Amino acid sequence: MYARNINTYILSIMKIEENYSLEKHNTFHVQVAAKHFMEYDSEEELSRILRDEYFMECQKLHIGAGSNLLFLDDYNGIILHSLIGGAEQLKSDDTNVYLQVGAGMAWDACVAYAVSNNWGGIENLSNIPGETGAAAVQNIGAYGVEIKDVIASVTAYEVKTGNKKIFTATECKYGYRDSIFKNELLDQYIITHVTLKLTKQPVLNLSYGNLSEVMCAEKEQNIQTVRDVVIKIRAEKLPNTDELGNAGSFFTNPIISKPHYEAIQKDYPAIPGYEVADNKIKVPAAWLIEAIGFKGKSFDTVGVYDKQALVIVNLGDASGTEIAMLAESIRTKVLQQFEIEVNPEVRYVG
């Protein structure tokens, strides 16, 4: 229907797939289909699409690699995906390089490129599935670093008007796994490029967990070895999405008040917690899920990963609803046992 209505310009330049399987476009590998699927590879193309009157009326969703999405059903609209790749050095001085990265570039390819040039700042974010545009929406983080720490600006197009806007890092309103693009501007802008400010004299950040301990065993202390070590640690704890469908951490780590934390500590002295602000403690959701007895448990087609309780896995042909139901039982149990709400980091669609 949509393809028949869409204007001839778009039809002439774009390949629009109909009833397109999204299995390869979501790392849970849930078998759903999109009514239409469209890819573009330049800002001009995107801008033309956004100004198309038929496109404007259609229900639509822009995706990255689908590593943070849970499709509950077939998508009855148009799915857009960026093929804008490449990493271009915009400017450079004695200390920094500003690297403009296409939103469709695999995030880890971007990290590998930076590390191979000895540009520091993102090596701790090695091997995170997903694409660069989505990484900037999500404010991905690992091993003591968040992408916001190195974001200089984000280039995006307003869906409603097709106009371009450059957001400074401050305008992106970054927080823990959070940004303006997940809140007041949800689905209102499409990111085409992310500009990273990387350093030419890398300083290693080994503050997280046992990273410094593991690094001690390495002969060389540089960003390449940090990358190697992070890749190794992640491979030990997190399932490969190609082998076992998953979306990394399913929940964010909840932040609770200090009195609440201390009350729980009376019954559970081992509960870990990290002070994040005055009177606020971040508690690992993985610990809570392990404490309710769900770590390593499987329920027919879905399960909780046995090496990291924060990861829900598709054990076979799980549907999005089955995955969501397991997540819901975890939420309920954690709430009953600890009076803590754990909220999905994963975005539900449908």
Is the Cβ of residue 118 or residue 337 nearer to ligand EPU in the bound state? 337
Is the Cβ of residue 36 or residue 295 nearer to ligand EPU in the bound state? 295
Is the Cβ of residue 193 or residue 295 nearer to ligand EPU in the bound state? 295
C-alpha Rg value of the chain to the nearest Å: 21
Is the Cβ of residue 82 or residue 126 nearer to ligand EPU in the bound state? 126
Nearest approach in angstroms of CB 168 to ligand EPU is 24
Nearest approach in angstroms of CB 342 to ligand EPU is 10
Nearest approach in angstroms of CB 83 to ligand EPU is 24
Distance CA 271, CA 264 (A): 8
Is the Cβ of residue 160 or residue 237 nearer to ligand EPU in the bound state? 237
H-type alpha helices, 238-305: 258-267, 285-291
DSSP letter at 252? P
Catalytic residue, from 45, 131, 146, 345: name it: 345
β 189-199/245-249 pair status: unpaired
Catalytic, 345? Answer: yes
Task: Provide the b/e sequence for 149-170 (b: ≥16 CB within 10 Å).
Answer: bbbbbbbbbebeebeeeebebe
* Through-space distance between the first and last CA atoms of the chain, rounded to whole angstroms: 20
Catalytic residue, from 177, 290, 298, 347: name it: 177
Catalytic residue, from 47, 153, 249, 319: name it: 249
Nearest approach in angstroms of CB 55 to ligand EPU is 32
Residues within the interface to ligand EPU (CB under 6 A): 142-143, 208-209, 237-238, 248-249, 252-253, 272, 284, 286-287, 290, 295, 308-310, 345
Q: Cβ distance 257 to 233 under 8 Å? A: no
Nearest approach in angstroms of CB 310 to ligand EPU is 5
Catalytic, 177? Answer: yes
User: Which amino acid is present at 180?
Assistant: I
Is the Cβ of residue 33 or residue 330 nearer to ligand EPU in the bound state? 330
Distance CA 198, CA 58 (A): 39
* CB-based closest residue to ligand EPU: 248
Angle between helices 223-237 and 107-116 (to 10 degrees): 150
| Secondary structure (DSSP) of 14-76 | --EEEEEE-GGGSTT----EEEEEEEE-SHHHHHHHHT-HHHHHS-EEEESSSTTEEE-S-EE
Distance CA 61, CA 66 (A): 11
Nearest approach in angstroms of CB 275 to ligand EPU is 15
Which residues are designated catalytic?
177, 249, 345
